[in-house]
Structure 1
Amino acid sequence: MKRRDALRSLALITGGLVLVPSCDFSKEDILAAYKNLQITPSLKQLLAGIADTIIPPGNIKGAADLSVQDFILVMVNDCVDENGQQAFMKGLQAFEGFSKKTSGKNFSKLTKEEKENLILSGLSTEEENEKDIRSFLETTKRFTIQGFMLSEYIQTEVKPYSLIPGDYKGEVLIADIKTERING
């Protein structure tokens, strides 16, 4: 009885070992949520790093803490025309190469100051072969700021939104005024 179990286990292990070389683990899956973009998890992580460099965490949360990269991808996927989407994808895919060419390192291995300088140089580049980088960074910057300012965290905790201008108080000491309110 034990010999049968051993032979069965050996057959399963041998079959598994035969199938393992045929499996391709090198390709990254493309995220299906963005049907017009070919986004992989590593590109999404790179975009999060760029957004977090544009709005870093400090006293309040940063862009990556609020998942602004998801907002950027949804906006590009749904609201940007096909030419803009292609330019965004070319710039996103070429950004790592731009980082290596400009600073000699991958973007993730750069210090905070080097990341800021890299993004500033990408936004101000005038070279024809880097126009996709500039277009990508301009789009990313615009949607990062928009997504950050429209996030639930900003609208509820940092600058609370009130639909009505608020209560009327005739006499108020300046020292008693609380946080700034955005009125609609």
Structure 2
Amino acid sequence: MNRRHALRHIALISGGLALIPSCDFSSDDILAAYQKLKVKSSEKELLGAISNTIIPAGEIKGALELAVPDFILVMVNDCMEEESQSRFMKGLRAFPEFAGKGFDQLSPKEKEAKVKEGLMLEGDDTEEGKVKQDIQYFLNTTKRLTIQGYMASEYIQTEIIPYSLIPGEYNGAVLISDLQKPRING
């Protein structure tokens, strides 16, 4: 073996070994991914409960099982302006007080009623009215992003409504009653 090749390999290996300790592969910093929002784990759990109220599990998986709360937080953190992010977080932090007792302790019907009530809130220019507006904005944004994240999930796109990039073949002699699952074409 050539001495130059050996020195090059040693340099590459030692450089790689120097970088390995700086890589952090732990999942403890999952909330650090949402730097702009500064989300606590309890707030993420509340968001999960709300999204699971919007699309609960039944015959098919619910929003919580498809990690829709993570999708919501990423979208708010990365795609919204600072003013919208602050309104979202104010609404998220004000929601437990609006819900009364712990939202997790409510029955599914009560959770659904609280979310519907929050979606219908109307505020004014008073301090209490602004809080109501923030809660309504938070719930509307959560509802919209829950539906978007759920419908765009791999589970829905592959198992429930199979996605095909191009339309299927044309067959004019097929009865409508013989058709299978609907296909969404891109």
TM-score range, shorter chain: 0.7 to 0.9
1:138-168 deviations in whole A, cap 9, x for unaligned? 1101100100111101111111111111022
Contact 1:30 1:39 in 2 (8 A): no
Structure 1: which amino acid aligns with 2:54?
Answer: I
Tell me the CA shift for residue 38 of structure 1: 1.1
- Give the whole-Å Cα distance in 2 for the aligned partners of 1:173 and 1:111: 45
**C-alpha distance in 2 between matches for 1:180 and 1:93:** 40
* TM-score after normalising by structure 1: 0.79
Count of aligned positions: 152
Give 1:59 shift. Answer: 1.6
Are residue 120 (structure 1) and residue 119 (structure 2) matched?
A: no
SS of 2:155 mapped into structure 1: helix
Percent identity (aligned): 59
List alignment gaps of at least 5 residues for structure 1: 1-28
Q: How far 1:173 moved relative to its partner?
A: 3.1
CA distance in structure 1 between the aligned counterparts of 2:170 and 2:133, rounded to whole angstroms: 52
Aligned to 1:20: none
2:178 aligns to what? Answer: 176
Written as runs of structure 1 = structure 2, the 5 A alignment for 1:48-63 is 48-63=48-63
CA-atom RMSD in angstroms: 1.4
* Residue identity in the other structure for 2:115: I
Provide structure 2 residue ranges, at least 5 long, that are not aligned to the other structure.
1-28, 124-128
Who is 2:5 aligned against? none
User: In the alignment, which residue of structure 2 is the partner of 1:155?
Assistant: 157
Q: CA deviation at 1:123?
A: 0.7
- Looking at structure 1, the residues matched to 134 and 185 of structure 2 have their Cα atoms a distance apart, in angstroms, of 38
TM-score (norm 2): 0.78
Taking the aligned partners of 2:172 and 2:121, their CA distance within structure 1 comes to 54
Show the counterpart of 1:110.
106
Instruction: Return structure 1 stretches of 4+ with deviation > 2 angstroms.
Output: 173-176
